[in-house]
Amino acid sequence: MLRTRILSALVLLPVLLGIIFYLPPAATLALCAIVIVLAGHELLAMASQEGDDPPRALVLLMSVAVFVAFAWPGFPQLDLVLLSACIVIGTIALATMPPGPDVVRRVSALALPLWYVALPVGAIGAIRVRFGAVALFVLLATVIISDAAQYFGGRAFGRSLLAPVVSPKKTREGAYAGFIAGGGAFVWMAQAWLPQMPLAFAIVLGMTLVALGIAGDLFESLLKRSAGVKDSSGLIPGHGGMLDRVDSFLFAGPVYYIALTWLA
């Protein structure tokens, strides 16, 4: 399992970095759109474990539209897309859902891919477009280093479970390792490549991003345990599904985008 996890990372990371640094921003945005479709499909599949059968193609189309409106240059009408999506979701519910105690849950499942996947990935794509490849790399490296430190720190020193009801493997000791490694890496990278960021601000933001990465991981674990599945899919050997791979970024990415926008 560990060997497969490492091999998958060694294959995927160079491809990811090559797209971010050596191809135009549109390539990163296209990759983000693929991530939204795959992760959104996995999320809707989890919803179907509860007996729902959401119109996946339509929900995924709306998710991609939200992403394009957020991140793609020349499409700034995010408010119009979100308002239209609300109307479409309401219309779907009205046309397909008879009154019952599960309607609120089923309508929420339709909206979840938009706000939980499309909007955060839109923020990540917008970082590449508006602030450059280095700014996006700093976010990716921080979360990846933190995740790796949590994994190996937990295996080596883990004794106390961090959130036993939600995640039976994540430990407090692993989280401490993630804060030290991920937060320290962010501060170093920010001082080296984002000199406009004050040191105190970088320290607070680095710790915040690590905490949000952990929260994002635990939130997806909550969804998976509620749906009765171990992984969102088996797409990436050793890592599970696309949603399993990007869950730590879905809370951290938007806050990082907000911070960069504020600094700019």
Q: Kindly report the backbone phi and psi dihedral angles of residue 73, in degrees, each rounded to the nearest multiple of 5, phi listed first.
A: -60, 135
What's the average model confidence in pLDDT over 156-165? 90
Q: What is the three-class DSSP state of 52? A: coil
User: How many residues appear in the chain?
Assistant: 264
Percent of the chain with pLDDT over 70: 98
Report d(CA 182, CA 207) in Å as an integer: 8
Closest CA to 246 of 82, 85, 69, 125: 125
Say how far apart CA 207 and CA 186 lie, in whole Å. Answer: 9
pLDDT of residue 135: 96
**Residue range 224-245: average pLDDT?**
90
- Residue 1 pLDDT class (50, 70, 90 cuts): low
Q: What's the rounded mean pLDDT across residues 91-104?
A: 87
Residues 59 and 113 sit within 8 Å (Cβ to Cβ): yes
Q: Region 160-169: what's the mean pLDDT?
A: 90
pLDDT higher at 152 or 8: 152
Structure tokens at 3: 């060997």
Round the average pLDDT of the chain to a whole number and report it: 92
CA distance 115 to 121: 10
